[in-house]
Amino acid sequence: MVAEVGYPEPRVRAPGFATLLNIIIGQQVSVQSAAAIRGRLAEAADPLTTDSFLALDDEALRGVGFSRRKIEYGRLLALDIQEARFDPDGLPSLDDETALQQIVARKGLGRWSADIYLLFALGREDIWPADDLAVQVAVQRLKGLEERPDRATMDKLAEDWRPHRGAAALLMWHMYKKAAL
């Protein structure tokens, strides 16, 4: 596989509010749309902190490209951090499952979001984003499956890659992007 597509680039993100908000931005939109929204947000709130985000009114956030729902999720996340209901700085000291549960307890951050954060911001090596469409398609192609695998199938197929399923996921994204399968 690697001989065909090369090694994937690292995907390291700084832990904290800005990365969690950027994950929310990236949900259910194209990579290009998310990048455009992130760029406009960086101009409107630099540096991106809970304070700078909350200082933007709904009209400004809609102008950046936020939907009503993403405005809600971003504001709730910022308030949860400010009001000490959620401490992203404490996540590195938690085991994977506990950290995941802390993230998914936030409205607007589900399992996929938690997996992405744990993998890229906290560098957790055995995180397996089984619900990611690109990873599913790459696994389908790699394994020669007729249908895109569901979560249970993805988890079963990834068992052989433990405890480095995160590296396997990076390779799957890279293969998907290169369309080399």
Q: What is the pLDDT of residue 1?
A: 65
| 49 and 26 part of one domain | yes
- Which pLDDT score, from 0 to 100, does residue 108 have? 96
The predicted pLDDT at position 181 comes to 47
| Segments of the chain scoring below 70 in pLDDT | 1-3, 7, 180-181
Chain segment 116-129, per-residue pLDDT in tens = 999 999 999 999 99
Indicate if 93 and 162 belong to the same structural domain: no
Cis peptide bond upstream of 92, omega within 30: no
Q: Are residues 110 and 154 in the same domain?
A: no
Distance between CA atoms of residues 110 and 157, nearest Å? 22
Average pLDDT, the chain: 94
**167 plus 87 within the same structural domain:** no
Domain identity same for 93 and 157? no
> Are 26 and 99 part of one and the same domain?
yes
65-98: b (≥16 Cβ within 10 Å) or e: bbeeebbebbbbbbebbeeeebebeebeeeeeee
* Domain of residue 155, residue span: 133-178
Q: How many structural domains comprise the chain?
A: 2
Query: Is 153 a domain residue?
Result: yes
Chain Cα centroid distance, residue 141: 23
pTM: 0.91
- 23 and 101 co-located in one domain: yes
